[in-house]
Chain A
């Protein structure tokens, strides 16, 4: 498969009479976008707002972030199996509005937090303070069941990204990134001496607000499955998560999965990258055992020498992460785990809900309990009431001057377990 991600660098965004890109400035026809989204009769009201890096703007509660793109050559524009008809993605040419992001806001439940601050202390922690954000606030018609409400907001975000991405169709890109990889047989022939490395990407797969989708299939229903890395970079995987703000993998992060990009970078140099295994994080223990056995079996069958495993979420998925690690290490396959940690305010507590002696190479992407202070914003996009939820939930977390203290777990992408974020690590 050969995929070209053709980046058009976006330097500013504004509203205007048509949706176009000119000289790196993305103009959006607000009315047209709203009308497009309101074709879904479940949507009562759509508000579109813009947020630029550095502005004293707070966006809350964020549901998903999506990169606007358009496929100009090859099968499958958009998100096949979800918003467009089924197609095999991973090959062709995609024009990317690089630097722009669609951010969906929708309070499906009252306890959603998920904040993006575009300035100050908050901006330091989220990668989406550096993108030019088109914020789409979706209010559905009354009386929708929670599942339908979630689906409505999810699809609206994806459709908005498709609509805006279309503006890049005939624009010459500023840079072109090429991702090409042949079959295992071909690549192994090219790089017979390099260690074969697989990437196991775990996805929360546990029900409402805790789901992920692969070509539209809810990952709760799959056995672990192998993808060519290009498929994920080309829209095969989307997020249905709402409540794990700091460590959920947004659709944008799937489209730009840092682990995939880094492994690609090393492919043919230090490793032979075999692809991505998507592994559901189920709720039942029997389901977890089956999934972890099956993942280890796939890695073994494919002849992996080493496996990188990234987690999504915190709590019961820790068990899956360590079970996969244990099974692989017992088979003589080396593992590196990527996870965030929940190690208390002082960072001194045991970081995961589970542990195993085989987990000897672990990359931490940050402490979700780290406390930060957020200044009051000049403008809040979304639900102002969600600010109360954002505050820590302890005495004194809301200050008289309007600032508040919260834990990192409320900030979108702050401890991304696929490493798409702003923290760096120190080697111990």
Chain B
């Protein structure tokens, strides 16, 4: 049985089109992080890490993050992860702009990485 205990916070139009359980953010990567932070502070937990695994994905205009579907009590470890992620993102993008010229490819890879994250979540039965 497919797990349904997640929500996707995303600004990626491809993800909005292809998935249910989406909280769509009309904005940039940083806005997705901020929306995630707000929800983590309200007791939602991170399922996937807010950041990518390679520098290039920091330059992506799009980001999709998995969080739980229900609020629970505040988890300081998750708060720390999302806050550190925002600091990291801002530092990395200090001088740079998101790579809009390749936005279509970033949307595709963000979607692929989300798919992998969901498959990984599916394999971890709780």
- Measured CB to CB, the residues of A under 8 A from B are 109-113, 146-147, 204, 206-210, 220, 241, 243-248, 281-288, 290, 312-317, 319, 342, 344-345, 349-350, 353-355, 368-369, 388-389, 392-394, 409
Closest to B105 in A: A109
Check if B84 sits within 8 Å of A109, measured CB to CB.
no
Closest to A108 in B: B105
Check if A220 sits within 8 Å of B55, measured CB to CB.
no
- B106 CB to nearest chain A CB (Å): 6
- A187 CB to nearest chain B CB (Å): 34
Closest to A283 in B: B117
Check if B95 sits within 8 Å of A345, measured CB to CB.
yes
- B34 CB to nearest chain A CB (Å): 17
Contacts of A394 in B (CB 8 A): 95-97
Most A CB contacts (10 A, CB to CB) among B66, B88, B105, B113 go to: B88
Contacts of A113 in B (CB 8 A): 56
- A211 CB to nearest chain B CB (Å): 9
Check if B92 sits within 8 Å of A342, measured CB to CB.
yes
Contact partner of B59 (CB less than 8 A), chosen from A281, A285, A314, A393, is A393
Check if A290 sits within 8 Å of B54, measured CB to CB.
no
Given contacts A349-B91, A353-B85, contact A290 B105 (CB under 8 A): no
- B64 CB to nearest chain A CB (Å): 11
Contact partner of B48 (CB less than 8 A), chosen from A147, A241, A283, is A283
Check if A285 sits within 8 Å of B48, measured CB to CB.
yes
Check if A284 sits within 8 Å of B51, measured CB to CB.
no
Distance, CA A287 to CA B119, complexed state (A): 11
Given contacts A109-B109, A354-B84, contact A315 B96 (CB under 8 A): no
Contacts of A147 in B (CB 8 A): 112
Contacts of A109 in B (CB 8 A): 102, 105-106, 108-109
Distance, CA A313 to CA B53, complexed state (A): 6
Contacts of A317 in B (CB 8 A): 53
- Chain B 104-116 interface mask (CB, 8 Å, partner A; 1/0): 1110110011011
Check if A246 sits within 8 Å of B55, measured CB to CB.
yes
Distance, CA A389 to CA B105, complexed state (A): 13
- Determine chain A's interface SS by DSSP, over half rule: loop
20 more contacts with CB within 8 A, not counting A288-B49, A316-B51, are A109-B106, A111-B102, A204-B53, A207-B115, A208-B113, A245-B56, A282-B120, A283-B53, A284-B47, A313-B55, A314-B53, A315-B51, A315-B52, A316-B52, A342-B91, A344-B91, A344-B94, A350-B91, A389-B101, A394-B95
- Measured CB to CB, the residues of B under 8 A from A are 45-60, 66, 78, 81, 84-85, 87-88, 91-92, 94-97, 99, 101-102, 104-106, 108-109, 112-113, 115-117, 120-121, 124, 126
Check if A368 sits within 8 Å of B55, measured CB to CB.
yes
- A253 CB to nearest chain B CB (Å): 16
Shortest 6 CB-CB distances between A and B: which pairs? Answer: A207-B116, A244-B54, A316-B49, A111-B102, A315-B51, A109-B105
Distance, CA A152 to CA B30, complexed state (A): 34
Check if A285 sits within 8 Å of B49, measured CB to CB.
yes
Number of CB contacts from chain A to chain B under 8 A: 151
Check if A243 sits within 8 Å of B54, measured CB to CB.
yes
Distance, CA A316 to CA B59, complexed state (A): 15
- B22 CB to nearest chain A CB (Å): 18
Closest to A204 in B: B53
* Subset of 21 A-B contacts with CB under 8 Å: A109-B109, A111-B56, A206-B113, A208-B113, A209-B112, A210-B52, A210-B53, A210-B116, A244-B56, A283-B116, A284-B49, A285-B78, A286-B124, A286-B126, A287-B120, A313-B53, A315-B51, A315-B52, A353-B84, A353-B88, A389-B99
Most A CB contacts (10 A, CB to CB) among B49, B101, B116, B120 go to: B49
Check if B53 sits within 8 Å of A206, measured CB to CB.
yes
Distance, CA A245 to CA B51, complexed state (A): 17
Distance, CA A284 to CA B66, complexed state (A): 9
- B94 CB to nearest chain A CB (Å): 6
Distance, CA A393 to CA B116, complexed state (A): 28
- A314 CB to nearest chain B CB (Å): 5
Most B CB contacts (10 A, CB to CB) among A112, A314, A354 go to: A314
Check if A220 sits within 8 Å of B116, measured CB to CB.
yes
Distance, CA A209 to CA B116, complexed state (A): 11
Check if A353 sits within 8 Å of B51, measured CB to CB.
yes
Check if B55 sits within 8 Å of A285, measured CB to CB.
no
Most B CB contacts (10 A, CB to CB) among A247, A354, A394 go to: A354
Check if B54 sits within 8 Å of A314, measured CB to CB.
yes
Distance, CA A146 to CA B116, complexed state (A): 14
